[in-house]
Amino acid sequence: MKIAIYGPGGFGRELIPVAGHSAAVCFLSDSPDEISANNLSVPTFSLEAFASAECMSEGTSVIIAVADAEIRRKLAARVKASGLRTGQAIAATAIIGPGVELGEGAIICHHAIITASVEIGVHFQANIYSYVAHDCVIGDFVTLAPRVCINGNTIIEDDAYIGTGAILKQGTPAKPLRIGKGAIVGMGAVVTKDVPPGAVVVGNPAKPLELVRPA
């Protein structure tokens, strides 16, 4: 099966060993500069060229290597409109436990762990050494940066971004910890309370980021 990685940037290049042998991988890009570049000797096509009969092979799937949720949504819509299908990329060293439901487009990088009884939406990204514990519900287009720790009974709504090394305190079945839609949890933050939709929180314990206005 051939896997096309949409986005030949840094994260896309990191996904070559996740997706499989490089002979079975190609990149997709909307940038003429990237299409003409030497991306680790991996061929790069435009989406339109790849979707043509000359480039596409039976069983081909696309994964989207872009962290920004809004951009990822747009690219996913373009892939669907082109007639291609989105697949999943799960590293050989990743652990996916019992009762885990992964939506289409999921990317689970090396040494990531999803323990048990977890429901995850579409186009989820779990970067290296991140983990999601039991009884969590994660929405669509959620991104976990490296070494994120999501403890049990946590709800993460659509489009949320959890920064490198962040730790989310465990909730309870009666009151799960909730990260609102589009929220951003900063690098190294320790989240002990719910995060409202669209909020940016940083620090230990995590608090809303206060913007300093010019005097």
- Active-site annotation holds for 134: yes
- 14 lies in some domain: yes
In degrees and rounded to multiples of 5, residue 76 shows phi and psi of -60, -40
- 23-51 pLDDT, tens per residue? 568 899 998 888 877 778 888 889 888 88
Range with the poorest average pLDDT among 8-22, 51-65, 143-157 = 51-65
Is 213's pLDDT higher than 70?
no
Cβ burial of 97 (10 Å; 0-12, 13-18, 19+) is middle
Distance of CA 126 to the CA centre of its chain: 5
- 209 lies in some domain: no
In the chain, how many domains are there?
Answer: 2
Which of 46, 66, 87 lies at the terminal end of a domain, its last residue?
87
Per-residue confidence (pLDDT) for residue 49, from 0 to 100:
84
Same domain (yes/no): 44, 137: no
State which residues form the domain around 156: 90-203
Same domain (yes/no): 194, 121: yes
Same domain (yes/no): 103, 122: yes
pTM over 0.85, yes/no: yes
Give the model's confidence band at 101: pLDDT under 50 very low, under 70 low, under 90 confident, else very high.
Answer: very high
Same domain (yes/no): 82, 104: no
For the record, the structure tokens of 141 come out as 């287009």
Instruction: Tell me the percentage of the chain whose pLDDT exceeds 90.
Output: 72
Return the residue matching tokens 């900063």.
186
Give the model's confidence band at 135: pLDDT under 50 very low, under 70 low, under 90 confident, else very high.
Answer: very high
Which of 39, 57, 87 lies at the terminal end of a domain, its last residue?
87
Candidate list 21, 110, 123, 134, residue with the active-site label: 134
What CATH number corresponds to the domain at position 122?
Answer: 2.160.10.10
- 176 lies in some domain: yes
- 151-183 pLDDT, tens per residue? 999 999 999 999 999 999 999 999 999 999 999
Same domain (yes/no): 162, 118: yes
